[in-house]
Structure 1
Amino acid sequence: MTGRAGRRGGGSEPAAGGGGPVSGERASEERVPIERSEEERTAGKRTAGDRTGGERTAGDRVARAALTRIAEPGDELVGSWLAAYGAEEVVAALSGDGPPLDGASERRWAGLRLRAEGARGEKDLAAIASLGGRFICPGETEWPHQLDDLGVARPFGLWVRGTPSLRFWALRSVAVVGSRACTEYGAHCASVLASGLAERGWSVVSGAAYGIDGAAHRGAMAVRGPTIGVLACGVDMTYPAGHGELIRLLAERGLLVAELPPGDHPTRSRFVLRNRVIAALSRGTVVIEAALRSGALVTARRALLLGRHLMGVPGPVTSGLSAGVHELLRGEGTVITDAAEVIELVGLMGELAPERRGPAVPRDTLNPTAARVLDAMPGHGTTEPARLARAAGVPAGLTLARLHELRALGFVERSGDHWYLVRTRNGHSIG
């Protein structure tokens, strides 16, 4: 597993296709499936408008906005059409009366066409602008290139609210996900981990849900750090209802991101599909409390498939809410306990977590010979230097010298010619 976010050099992305409206000649004919040779399709992918740092044409943006209302997120069939033909041609085909495009059954095609009847890309673009938001398309300046690792399942575009650049914030980002019905332990771990990441300049990505998600977002915002909420509904919707204030703060101080257009509501399947974006957007995913059937495990598995780092915070072995995390940790997941350990995995070379050591005790300062003499001291009662020398295997003269050294350090005391260990109030030796 590589564990690094796969931003591709040179900005070459899977194409959105041949761009441009349907020609007048084609419009005058009865619409037929668009067919191109494999060579033409490959050429189209290289030249069809996925320009790094460039902007899409107005027609392409409107068509992509419409597709977010026509097709469900992650629809690979529509994504393959988009790569082969371009957004405008796909929307034109769905809006016409011709036969289905390649690979679509009549039933599937009919469903997409029914949705296309109500899709108004211009209206949705105006709606997001009225909210102070924007619509980002693949290949544009703000597009996070790591999302291209999703292939034909990558978003058609992203609806965004919030001032910061999504691409910039996503360059150093970590997903923190877990159970909605989390324990106080889980919420505490999520909040502390997120605040630690945010303080170090890492964006915290999560789904704005109850439980671990909310704790992670709040932890990042508590230190005024970057955090991104990826929603399974429109960015103008408040879901869950109890997170109205959190979602408002994410739009004001962070970023809200969604594949679905303004006004669209979440469904069960959309939550699952949303998780692939969380995994792809981030360099790694941390799971904190997840039962064996938790949706957070979907994000975790997707992160593995994408070659991202997968990490988990262990919980009590008696807790069912940690059972899913423990399964991940028995496989390819890595145990982490704080932000420094996360950054050691997902960060640059040299960003190492501090070495873990137990508390220092007075015995740590002793040289090896003094330590051997101290170890040979009886636990109770007294002993003579000669007997102690035999027990320690140290010459008598050196043993006596070390005994005086140990006495100066407070480890032993003498009574005449006999020596004994110094005890603390709890009855244990200070060593």
Structure 2
Amino acid sequence: MPPAAPNGPPDARERTARAALTRILEPGDEHGGRWLREFGAEDLLCRLTSEDCAAGALPGVTGRRVRGLRARAVGVEPERDLDAVRAAGGRFVVPGDAEWPSQLDDLHDARPVGLWVRGRPDLRMWALRSVAVVGSRACTPYGAHMAACLGSGLAERGWVVVSGAAFGVDGSAHRGALAAGGATVAVLACGVDVVYPRGHGQLIGRIVEQGLVIGELPPGDHPTPSRFVMRNRVIAALTRGTVVVEAEYRSGSLVTARSAQRLGRCTMGVPGPATSGLSAGVHELLRGESMLVTDAAEVIELVGDMGELAPRRTGPVVPRDLLDPAGRRVLEALPAGGALAVRDAARGAGTTVDEALGKLYELHSLGFVERDGEGWRLTRRPRIGSNARRGGA
């Protein structure tokens, strides 16, 4: 059941209660999401902090689980967290805010309690035209190159690039967007004031200045393996589609792609060498319902508006492609070595002698053939002049 639509903008008490709940409930906790929907943020917080809260007051979990949540609730100071995010130049966005991306509601009871945000742009507006680019942390130079090209190509076309700020593909996608002077959003599995990974301190700082850094966890909170997994559902829900660039069979990037599939979003993969273990997970996606893409134009064709088509892909045009069908048939009738009489050329081309003779003179003017006594032969080096295109009319 989807979360109930808020009756109006959240007041200060609702925001404070939700800020407190981000310290108590783990991201993606569907029991917590159901309680939040049924009781509201203030009532739920009261049930978790009240001394007489019994197991029956929070249905669907054991008394041991309730005691664990209540232990987390002890000493929670939401006002301090709200002050901390403001000091870092950020804010706390909750359902009902004008900035809340409504597509996150597709997660139903796994919807974030709220999002801690750093950066100046409006999250909801940026998410309307956004694409996730994710992949392996230990990517190859090919994977890093493709991620950067996708990031810059999407940014140049006015799309927001969303990723997780991790090493490898994530970082390359962010850098590609930043290098193009474009928009990018980093979704963290920790507090938005925490630099993780530490080696990406400069990158995350640039994203804060030029884009947005968001997360479900309150300021100062640390990442864990399960939080990385649950973070991926936000990346999938926030964007119109997810592109995977290099992923092994057991990869968090595949979790993002499968979450996107469950949500009805477009999933795409960039193919790699068939022998590469780092591309094995991508190839498995492509054997299913995902679409193969090789550049930003192909991504936009799948997730963009009607008429945003990728350019048609064709091989190189050779001189013979410019000939009309009758001219090609006559040319093909001539042997690779030696000359051929006009009558034999006409027979080979399936046409009349007069038409064959006319086409031979056209081919001669274009440099494809030459006279050889009473017959015609192929020139050794066709001389294709500026009038060749007119021969294909």
TM over 0.5: yes
- 1:322 paired to 2:279: yes
What does residue 199 of structure 1 align with?
156
- 1:291 paired to 2:244: no
- 1:239 paired to 2:196: yes
Whole-angstrom CA distance in 1 between matches of 2:194 and 2:152 = 26
Tell me the alpha carbon deviations over residues 98-150 of structure 1, each in whole angstroms, 9 at most, x when there is no partner.
Answer: 20211221111111001100311111000000011000001110000000000
Tell me the alpha carbon deviations over residues 61-119 of structure 1, each in whole angstroms, 9 at most, x when there is no partner.
Answer: 11100111111001110110100011111111111122021122111111100110031
What does residue 19 of structure 2 align with?
65
* Correspondence list, 1:192-271, <5 A: 192-271=149-228
When the two chains are superposed, the root-mean-square deviation of aligned CA atoms in Å is: 1.6
Report the secondary structure of 1:414's partner residue. Answer: strand
Whole-angstrom CA distance in 2 between matches of 1:253 and 1:88 = 35
Whole-angstrom CA distance in 1 between matches of 2:46 and 2:115 = 21
Q: Counterpart of 2:54 in structure 1: which amino acid?
A: P
What does residue 41 of structure 2 align with?
87
* Correspondence list, 1:158-173, <5 A: 158-173=115-130
What does residue 113 of structure 1 align with?
70
2:86 to 122, 125, 129: 129
Whole-angstrom CA distance in 1 between matches of 2:287 and 2:85 = 44
Range that drifts further, 383-392 or 219-228: 383-392
What does residue 343 of structure 1 align with?
300
What does residue 308 of structure 1 align with?
265
- 1:190 paired to 2:147: yes
1:75 to 25, 29, 41: 29
Unpaired runs of 5+ in structure 1? 1-12, 16-45
Whole-angstrom CA distance in 1 between matches of 2:143 and 2:306 = 30
Q: Counterpart of 1:96 in structure 2: which amino acid?
A: S
What does residue 6 of structure 1 align with?
none
What does residue 3 of structure 2 align with?
14
Whole-angstrom CA distance in 2 between matches of 1:56 and 1:267 = 30
| TM-score, normalised via structure 1 length | 0.86
Whole-angstrom CA distance in 2 between matches of 1:341 and 1:359 = 20
Report the secondary structure of 2:74's partner residue. Answer: helix
Report the secondary structure of 1:413's partner residue. Answer: strand
2:110 to 139, 153, 156: 153
Whole-angstrom CA distance in 1 between matches of 2:9 and 2:181 = 31
What does residue 39 of structure 1 align with?
none
* Correspondence list, 1:348-367, <5 A: 348-367=305-324
Whole-angstrom CA distance in 1 between matches of 2:379 and 2:126 = 58
Tell me the alpha carbon deviations over residues 211-242 of structure 1, each in whole angstroms, 9 at most, x when there is no partner.
Answer: 00000000001111110000000001111111
Q: Counterpart of 2:10 in structure 1: which amino acid?
A: R
1:102 to 55, 59, 69: 59
Q: Counterpart of 1:316 in structure 2: which amino acid?
A: P
Whole-angstrom CA distance in 1 between matches of 2:28 and 2:332 = 66
Whole-angstrom CA distance in 2 between matches of 1:379 and 1:66 = 83
CA positional deviation for 1:418: 2.4
CA positional deviation for 1:413: 1.6
Whole-angstrom CA distance in 1 between matches of 2:224 and 2:236 = 19
Range that drifts further, 389-398 or 330-339: 389-398
Report the secondary structure of 1:348's partner residue. Answer: coil
- 1:180 paired to 2:137: yes
- 1:275 paired to 2:232: yes
Whole-angstrom CA distance in 1 between matches of 2:237 and 2:337 = 63
Whole-angstrom CA distance in 1 between matches of 2:335 and 2:283 = 44
Unpaired runs of 5+ in structure 2? 383-387
What does residue 390 of structure 1 align with?
347
Whole-angstrom CA distance in 2 between matches of 1:338 and 1:327 = 19
What does residue 385 of structure 2 align with?
none
Report the secondary structure of 1:420's partner residue. Answer: strand
CA positional deviation for 1:257: 0.4
- Aligned identity (percent) is 63
